[in-house]
């Protein structure tokens, strides 16, 4: 609908996740009206991020160095590993400031439908990290859905052969939520996991 | 939450219209997993669009040349000008393939609340285009909302001093819509504008 490169830019934006054709058009027009310096900055940042950012050799988190900031930090508890599906989950957990151990990013979850088996995940590197006996507890923090639960079950069986404590994040009512609106599975889990007060 | 430039990229994406922090993060991670060649292509396109794309000297539509493809096309009806608020509206009207005349982009609508008066819009260039007597009809295609109607009213008064036919796009029920769900103003307009069949 537009001349040459404007349409190309709209098409490119439309390929990004979560951006439909209308948003893509809106963003392209925003770019047209943004100072040239700012657009060059964004363009350079895109290239830099893609060139310089990689995944940590140890945990799989995003990093500008072979080892990420968390794996490099000696103050982190080296006896505790939290296993997550995705690097985005690391950021989510870091935001809570509750966890001071290390991470291990699997790069997905077991999903027979999507054709993802245990061999497609970073499970072998996890077993290597556990081999020297430093780690005392592995927290399984995969998503509380079908694939995440399947992955947690698979890992817990695998890890129980080692002398390591294996835990799973608690399921229950979300804080600030309404009991009335909780689904039955979540409410069931909340009963199951009830604690003395 | 992320190291250096990844967070910078998330922040930059978050500044684009219609992209919240979660989407910005999702897009940044998508970029990390996109082939380097494709990311460079997007970056170059951003720079190119900002450098090469401008607004048509005559109508204000987006263009890579001083005059846009529509203004350059001799097959377009030179006696008809459709006045729109935004260059995005040109694309929307072109998609209908109903209109074969020329356009004039005002660059907004009169809005006392936003402090936009007639002098902030491209009204003087419109009057210049109408001066030589070629144009026989001006179609006011500003949005059917408060600001768009105010702008259309202002322009129709201004243009009635010239010997030019001034028309306004019809208001009425959207095709495929449900009469039951139409708001009363739209339904009122549909009655007002009813036609013999």
The residue with greater pLDDT, A33 or B3, is A33
Q: Which residue of A has its CA nearest to B11?
A: A42
Task: Kindly determine whether residue B17 and residue A9, on different chains, have CB atoms separated by under 8 Å.
Answer: no
pLDDT at residue B1 above 70?
Answer: no
B72 close to A (CB below 8 A): no
Residue numbers in A near B86 (CB within 8 A): 29
CA distances from A154 to A109, A157, A158, B35, B42 (A): 10, 5, 6, 32, 40
Other C-beta atoms within 10 Å of A22: how many? 12
pLDDT at residue A55 above 80?
Answer: yes
**What confidence score (pLDDT) does residue A41 get?**
94
pLDDT at residue A79 above 90?
Answer: yes
Out of B3, B8, B40, the one facing A47 most closely (by C-beta) is: B40
**What confidence score (pLDDT) does residue B108 get?**
94
pLDDT at residue A111 above 90?
Answer: yes
Residue numbers in B near A34 (CB within 8 A): 50
B60 Cα to chain A: minimum distance (Å):
13
Mean pLDDT of B53-73: 93
Mean pLDDT of A173-189: 83
**What confidence score (pLDDT) does residue B166 get?**
93
pLDDT at residue B175 above 90?
Answer: no
In what helix (H) or strand (E) does residue B24 lie, and over which residues does it extend? Answer: helix B21-32
Task: Kindly determine whether residue B48 and residue A5, on different chains, have CB atoms separated by under 8 Å.
Answer: yes
**What confidence score (pLDDT) does residue A1 get?**
67
| Range with lowest mean pLDDT among A63-67, B3-7, B21-25, B89-93 | B3-7
Which pLDDT tens digit goes with each residue over A143-175?
A: 988 999 999 999 999 998 888 999 998 888 888
- Give which of A23, A48, A50 to mutate to test B binding, by max B Cβ within 10 Å: A50
For residues B27 and B7, give the distance between their C-alpha atoms in angstroms, rounded to a whole number.
Answer: 12
**What confidence score (pLDDT) does residue A188 get?**
84
Domain boundary assignment for chain A = 4-52, 75-168
Mean pLDDT of A77-102: 92
Residue range B4-52 in CATH 3.20.20.410: no
Out of A12, A25, A41, the one facing B42 most closely (by C-beta) is: A12
**What confidence score (pLDDT) does residue A184 get?**
84
The residue with greater pLDDT, B197 or B89, is B89
**What confidence score (pLDDT) does residue A14 get?**
94
Class assignment of domain A75-168? alpha beta
Of the candidates B60, B53, B102, B59, the residue with the CA atom closest to the CA atom of residue B77: B102
Whether A45 and B40 have beta carbons less than 8 Å apart is answered as: no
Which pLDDT tens digit goes with each residue over B96-147?
A: 888 999 999 999 999 999 999 999 999 999 999 999 989 999 999 999 889 9
**What confidence score (pLDDT) does residue A161 get?**
87
**What confidence score (pLDDT) does residue B51 get?**
92
A171 Cα to chain B: minimum distance (Å):
23
Out of B18, B46, B62, the one facing A42 most closely (by C-beta) is: B46
pLDDT band, residue A24 (cuts 50/70/90): very high
Task: Kindly determine whether residue A1 and residue B95, on different chains, have CB atoms separated by under 8 Å.
Answer: yes
Mean pLDDT of B2-30: 91
**What confidence score (pLDDT) does residue B105 get?**
96
- According to DSSP, the β-strands at A137-140 and A77-84 are parallel
Average model confidence (pLDDT) across chain B = 91
Task: Kindly determine whether residue A49 and residue B29, on different chains, have CB atoms separated by under 8 Å.
Answer: no
Whether B26 and B33 have beta carbons less than 8 Å apart is answered as: no
Which residues have a Cβ under 8 Å from the Cβ of A190 and sit 6 or more positions away? A171, A172, A173, A182
């Amino acid at each position: 609908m537009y001349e040459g490169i404007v349409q190309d830019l709209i098409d490119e934006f439309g390929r990004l996740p979560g951006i439909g054709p209308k948003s893509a058009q809106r963003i392209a027009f925003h770019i047209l009206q943004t100072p040239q310096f700012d657009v060059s900055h964004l363009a350079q940042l895109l290239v830099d991020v893609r060139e310089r950012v990689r995944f940590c050799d140890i945990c799989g988190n995003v990093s500008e160095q072979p080892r990420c900031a968390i794996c490099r930090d000696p103050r982190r508890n080296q006896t505790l590993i939290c296993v997550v599906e995705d690097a985005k989950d690391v950021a989510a957990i870091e935001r809570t400031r509750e966890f001071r151990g290390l991470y291990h990013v699997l790069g997905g979850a077991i999903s027979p439908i999507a054709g993802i088996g245990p061999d497609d995940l970073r499970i072998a590197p996890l077993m290597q990290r556990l081999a020297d006996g430093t780690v005392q507890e592995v927290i399984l923090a995969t998503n509380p859905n079908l694939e995440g639960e399947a992955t947690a079950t698979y890992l817990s069986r695998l890890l129980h052969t080692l002398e390591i404590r294996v835990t799973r994040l608690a399921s229950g009512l979300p804080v600030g939520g309404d009991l009335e609106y909780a689904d039955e599975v979540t409410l069931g889990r909340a009963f199951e996991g009830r604690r003395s007060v």
